[in-house]
Amino acid sequence: MSNLATISDYQRAGAIFSTNIDITPSITLAKGGNFTIKIYNDQTNVNHQASTSGLLDFSFLGICYSVTSPSGPPPPLNFCTISQDFSSISFSISSITAGQTIRIRTEIKNPLYVSKRGLRAHLVEFISGVLIERYQVQVAFTVSQIAINDIGASRLYLFWGISSDTMNSNA
């Protein structure tokens, strides 16, 4: 997965940012297949346990579409949809080539609290409906806490929007 936003954007609570999700199949399927990408919460994963949130805190927004990847031009998609609950993306490709990266662009909305989530994806063959491959990234999305003791960061505002820097300079 590669991000188009800066680190501060994609780790900030409540941020909405564009991101690329890369999948590189290891199997060629001349008749194509269906992919599903899902944001998941694994309570056995120590990183996910640190989160104080429910299952659906990060969400996919807007639309999804294929873009040029490191292995070449974008493959034509039959469709690309984001599920109603915003936790998964499904797309279909008529022909899949082993080693050719498929890059999907979409938007992510971060929760308003500290959290970490992973991504799981799977490929199912068109004709048989058989699961062909699985992919997983244990920590794909992160919202970091803002350290309020970092006064020099100009991120802390008091009362009527007065910067904490102003308060320090008048002391």
How far is it, in rounded angstroms, from Cα 87 to Cα 92? 17
80 with 66: CB under 8 angstroms?
yes
Virtual torsion, Cα 151, 154, 156, 161, nearest 10 deg: 130
What is the rounded CA–CA span in Å between residue 87 and residue 58? 8
- Average pLDDT over every residue of 10-23: 90
For 147, half-sphere exposure in the C-beta direction (CA atoms, 13 angstrom radius) is 6
**Which of the pair, 167 or 127, is modelled with greater confidence?**
127
> Structure pTM?
0.76
Report the pLDDT value the prediction gives residue 171, as an integer from 0 to 100: 47
Q: Which domain holds residue 23?
A: 2-169
Domain count, the chain: 1
Give the contacts of 158 (CB within 8 A, at least 6 positions apart).
164, 167
Instruction: Calculate what percentage of the chain has a pLDDT beyond 70.
Output: 70
pLDDT of residue 85: 75
78: pLDDT strictly greater than 90: yes
CA distance linking residue 104 with residue 91, whole number of Å:
9
- What secondary structure does DSSP assign to the chain, as a single string? -EESS-HHHHTSTT-EEEEEEEE--SS-BTT-EEEEEEEE--TTSHHHHT--S-S--SEEEEEEEEE-BTTBSPPPEEEEEE-TTSSEEEEEES-B-TT--EEEEEEEE--SS-EEEEEEEEEEETTT--EEEEEEEEEEEEEPPP-TT-GGGS--EETTTEEHHHHHHT-
CATH code (residue 17): 2.60.40
Of the candidate ranges 44-53, 96-105, 106-115, 126-135, the one whose mean pLDDT is the lowest: 44-53
Mean pLDDT of the region 27-44:
88
